[in-house]
Amino acid sequence: MAVFPALSSSPPSSYVNVTRWYDHISALLRSCGITAEGNGVRVEATCSVSSAPGVAEQKAPAVDEDDDVDLFGKETEEEHAATDARAAAVKASGKKKESGKSSILLDVKPWDDETEMQKLEEAVRSVKMEGLLWGASKLVPVGYGIKKMQIMMTIVDDLVSVDSLIEDHLCTEPANEYIQSCDIVAFNKI
């Protein structure tokens, strides 16, 4: 509304977008009861351009430094105190956080068809760790007389890392005499 009254007439048709805007605003004003002669409603507009004569400059409101939100800054003393209070409340509640458990199905593959599968299973079950419980196992045919062993295990997430179990225990001496590789078939949180 500040620009429309400043234009004395419709802009030249070479300025397509401005002409369309001017025609649109004219139609809106006519639909509101303003005639082409300007009878009905007076349109007044002021602009905040400092070079315009007679127009007072408007001051920008002062920005209070406390109102700024620093998303990447350090936490304030109040935030630190609130975090400490929440941590103390959790400790005081006396409830021990239960560690999550996971049920995992492993594929244990032998080196070849001459590998004794009973010894392979014994090598896998010989791995003992706190939070590790071996479950049922079965032999699954792969092809050409080779079978792989699928074995279930249940672990406590905070105590046993599946990656370290496979890399540090199952694929190293003496178990790697029977085990070529291990793959995780299913990993379910309990």
Confidence check: pLDDT of 117 > 80: yes
Which of the two residues, 56 and 180, has the higher pLDDT score? Answer: 180
The hierarchical CATH code for the domain 101-189 is 3.30.70.60
Q: Dump pLDDT digits (tens) for 146-155.
A: 899 999 999 9
Domain ranges of the chain: 1-44, 101-189
Confidence check: pLDDT of 136 > 90: yes
CA contacts within 13 A on the Cβ side of 92 = 6
CA 44 to chain centre: 50
The overall pTM is greater than 0.85: no
Report yes or no: 89 and 82 within 8 Å, Cβ to Cβ: no
- Which one, of 5, 8, 47, lies nearest residue 25 by Cα? 5
Confidence check: pLDDT of 116 > 60: yes
Confidence check: pLDDT of 33 > 60: yes
Task: Give 38's pLDDT tier (boundaries 50, 70, 90).
Answer: low
Confidence check: pLDDT of 15 > 50: yes
pLDDT above 90 covers a percentage of the chain that reads 17
Task: Give 55's pLDDT tier (boundaries 50, 70, 90).
Answer: very low
Confidence check: pLDDT of 64 > 80: no
pLDDT above 70 covers a percentage of the chain that reads 74
- Mean pLDDT for all residues in the chain: 79
Mean pLDDT for 142-168 is 88
